[in-house]
Structure 1
Amino acid sequence: MNTNPEPTVATAQRLSDAIIRVRARLRAESGQHATGLTPTQLAVLGSVVREGPVTAARLAALERVSAQSIAQSLAVLKAAGLVHSEPDARDGRKKLMSADPSAAELIDKLLRGRATFLARAIDQLVAPEERKDVDKAIELLERLAGAELDAGRI
């Protein structure tokens, strides 16, 4: 346990800044800006592609956003023809969201663009002896992303 929080706070800020810069670069390199969709709308679309057919409530839980936010994103995605809804055969009160085939193609293109950029960057900037460091960093980032923390312990 760290008894001096200052170095941890500084490290956390550096990590946050680096993640923001990497995410911005991935959006640019993947062509995400050209889609006209926001990062939130694309995240929702990706969830529909992966999880669909899926309810809006399930999407809200997956994305950790409000039902209102999901409804706004889905309205834009429907208007763009990327998703459609149909009644749930088991519960007619619910609607199931499904992705248009063009949505799956779009998400695949964006993911390929991100992966291609990162692969090129790793090949050009990371020395062979540093590859294990990259693997370790990925493991640590995955742990941080999945962390369930006590809210009061900050």
Structure 2
Amino acid sequence: MTANPGPQQPAVSAATAQRLQDAMKRLRARLRAESGQHAIGLTATQLGVLLSVVREGPVTAARLAALEHVSAQAIAQSLAVLKAAGLIHGAPDPKDGRKKLMSADPSATELIDKLLTGRASFLARAIDQVVAPGEREDVEKAIDLLERLADADLSGGAI
């Protein structure tokens, strides 16, 4: 179910789009702080790559670049840091020896679980304290909308 602004609906203003971007940025920063991510010494990009390796692994660098929407060079830089930290390792792809498959060390899985648990715990507490029971359904709707925005394919001009 996608909604497109029709002739009777005005386009979303740049100010509204900026407010959404600012709110998401502040929430991401708060989640990083509440989960203890700052103490780990990895950037948000490196942790995103690590999360993808944990969830998708064993996985190629090309697949990681596609998942993270970044260049092969950016993935290579993140993978180098993660390898040096002992969080991931590479092995030849049994189907194509020219490629390497990246896998997570068990310590990486523990780290990601700890971070995700910290973030979820903070969000659950914040929702309990800030969002009135009558607004909980609005949170569910907002999540649905954010998921649709994240999945939007605007290459054809419309979603």
Does the pair score TM above 0.5? yes
Structure 2 partner of 1:123: 128
Counterpart-to-counterpart distance in 2, 1:57 and 1:37: 21
Query: 1:90 is matched with which residue: 95, 104, 109?
Result: 95
Structure 2 partner of 1:68: 73
SS at match of 1:149: coil
Offset of 1:10 from its aligned partner? 1.4
Counterpart-to-counterpart distance in 2, 1:136 and 1:86: 42
Counterpart-to-counterpart distance in 2, 1:150 and 1:39: 27
Unaligned runs of 5+ in 2: 1-5
Counterpart-to-counterpart distance in 1, 2:20 and 2:39: 28
Structure 2 partner of 1:53: 58
Count of aligned residue pairs for this structure pair: 152
User: Higher helix share goes to which structure?
Assistant: 1
Counterpart-to-counterpart distance in 1, 2:81 and 2:62: 17
- Offset from partner CA, 1:22-64 (integer Å, 9 cap, x none): 0000010011111100000000000000000011111111111
- Offset from partner CA, 1:97-154 (integer Å, 9 cap, x none): 000000000000000000000000000011101101111111111111111114767x
Counterpart-to-counterpart distance in 1, 2:146 and 2:139: 10
Partner AA of 1:138 in structure 2: I
Counterpart-to-counterpart distance in 2, 1:136 and 1:8: 21
Counterpart-to-counterpart distance in 2, 1:150 and 1:44: 25
Q: Which runs of 4+ in 1 moved over 4 A?
A: 2-5
Correspondence 1:1-16 to 2 at 5 A: 1=6, 4-5=10-11, 8-16=13-21
Flag the 1:27–1:84 CA change in 2: closer, same or farther, 3 A. Answer: same
Flag the 1:85–1:150 CA change in 2: closer, same or farther, 3 A. Answer: closer
Counterpart-to-counterpart distance in 1, 2:64 and 2:140: 30
